Chains A and B, each alone.
Chain A
Amino acid sequence: MSFLDIEDLAVHFGGVKAVDGVSFSVERGEVFSIIGPNGAGKSTIFNLISRLYRPTRGRIRFDGQDITELPAHRIAPLGIARTFQNIELFDHSTVLDNLLMGRHVHRTTNVFQDILFLPRVRREEREHRQRVEQVIEFLELEAYRKKTIAGLPYGIRKIVEVGRALALAPKLILLDEPASGLSVEESREVAFWIEDMRRDMGLTVLMVEHDMNLVAAVSDRVLALANGRPLAEGAPSEVQADPAVRAAYLGRREVAV
Chain B
Amino acid sequence: MTATTAPPRRGPASHARADRDGRHRSPVTWFRGGGLSNLVFLLPLILIFGVFSWFPIVRAVIMSFQETNLVSDPTFVGLDNFRQVLNDPLLWKAVQNTLYFAFLALLFGYPIPLVAAVLMREVRRARGLYSALAYLPVVVPPVVAVLLWKFFYNGSPTGVFNTILGWVGLGPYPWLQDASTAMPSLVLAATWAGAGGTIIIYLAALTSVPPELYDASEVDGAGLWRKIWHVTLPALRGVLFITLILQVIGTAQVFLEPYLFTGGGPNNATLTVLLLIYRYAFQNSLGGDYGAATALSIMLAAVLAVFSILYFRLTRSWSTS
Decide whether A and B are members of one complex: no
Binding site for A on B (CB under 8 A): none
Binding site for B on A (CB under 8 A): none
